[in-house]
């Protein structure tokens, strides 16, 4: 909560300064490091056939990186079972790879649900399908536990969305636990802090794939930092196949073939419509599963 509060103030100040200077935030950060930023989209499904069909539709719209996970059906019954989840993710990976071919990068999301040994089983099972990386295979509290994973697979590893400031990333970077860092600009302290995290990672030749928690203001900030920071590989874009997923802000970044182009306009390049926002009552849009193991033990979401 503290990281998010700081992030809100930080992003507002960058927006204010950009508007005062009539310059986009990415220019204040040093200018464009790239002309466009690659996005990865999301697909879901309750069967291998369903998720593969959804992935094929997304790839047909020009998206070249797809993130997915298994165990959606277990979410519906608030259950997590390691063996079942591993089998399902391997099955889904095989189906998606067959549907989209070898030119689309696959990203396996695990939500930190696995114990290390089961994360290794998953990595061994999907290795032949050559995923871009596996994300959050185990819980984040002890970065050294990632060594058990890295000793058994060459598949790249990504984690970091639960980091709330630059200090949370220290061990991940200096001990070489990950290949990609995943800070979220809305959770880790804002644009100022994520720029420091990325610069720290750059020294160790670690790239960054910003997590994006879907809000329209955070999304705009994510686009700006992804355009300006040199060691960003791609960013999370749940809207990668959508020209404008919300009318609360405008204009929305231009999306072409799975890439976001620089926003036009000063500051964050968008205006927030408070009247339209007020027309959406504040209520939970989804309730996260309260997961248990088969034996009734509590599992992490």
User: Among this protein's residues, is 152 annotated catalytic?
Assistant: no
Handedness of CA 88, 77, 215, 61 (dihedral sign): positive
Q: Where are the beta strands (DSSP E) in 91-238?
A: 105-109, 133-135, 157-159, 180-181, 207-208, 235-236
Contact 208, 231 (CB under 8 A): yes
User: Among this protein's residues, is 211 annotated catalytic?
Assistant: yes
201, containing H or E segment: helix 191-203
Catalytic pick from 111, 164, 177, 224?
111
Partners of 256 in the beta sheet? 259
Q: Within 13 Å, how many C-alpha atoms sit on residue 298's CB side?
A: 2
Residue with structure tokens 């036009």?
264
Before 6, cis peptide (omega within 30)?
no
Catalytic pick from 80, 82, 164, 211?
211
**Listed residue (57, 61, 63, 54) closest to 258, CA to CA:** 63
Residue with structure tokens 């056939």?
49
Contact 239, 265 (CB under 8 A): no
Q: Which residues are catalytic?
A: 111, 211
């Amino acid at each position: 909560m503290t990281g998010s509060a700081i992030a809100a103030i930080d992003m507002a100040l960058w927006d204010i300064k950009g508007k005062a200077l009539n310059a986009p935030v990415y220019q204040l950060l040093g200018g464009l490091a790239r002309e466009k930023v690659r996005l990865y989209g999301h697909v879901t499904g309750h069967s291998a056939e369903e998720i593969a069909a959804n992935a094929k539709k997304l790839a047909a719209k020009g998206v070249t990186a797809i993130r997915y996970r298994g165990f959606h059906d277990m979410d519906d019954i608030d259950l997590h079972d390691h063996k079942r989840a591993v089998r399902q993710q391997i099955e889904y990976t095989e189906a998606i790879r067959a549907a989209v071919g070898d030119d689309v990068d696959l990203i396996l999301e695990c939500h930190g649900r696995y114990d290390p040994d089961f994360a290794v089983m998953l990595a061994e099972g999907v290795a032949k399908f050559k995923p871009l990386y596996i994300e959050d295979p185990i819980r984040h509290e002890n970065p050294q536990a990632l060594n058990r994973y890295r000793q058994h697979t060459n598949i790249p590893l990504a984690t970091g969305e639960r980091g709330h400031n630059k200090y949370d990333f220290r061990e991940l970077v200096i001990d070489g636990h990950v290949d990609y860092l995943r800070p979220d600009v809305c959770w880790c302290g804002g644009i100022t802090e994520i720029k420091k995290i990325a610069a720290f990672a750059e020294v160790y030749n670690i790239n960054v794939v910003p997590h994006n928690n879907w809000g329209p203001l955070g999304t705009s900030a994510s686009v700006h930092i992804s355009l300006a920071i040199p060691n960003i590989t791609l960013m999370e874009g749940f809207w990668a196949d959508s020209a404008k997923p919300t009318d609360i802000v405008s204009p929305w970044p231009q999306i072409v073939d799975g890439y976001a182009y620089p926003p036009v306009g000063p500051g964050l390049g968008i205006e927030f419509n408070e009247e339209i926002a007020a027309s959406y009552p504040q209520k939970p849009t989804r309730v996260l599963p309260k997961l248990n193991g088969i034996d009734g033990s509590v599992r992490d979401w």
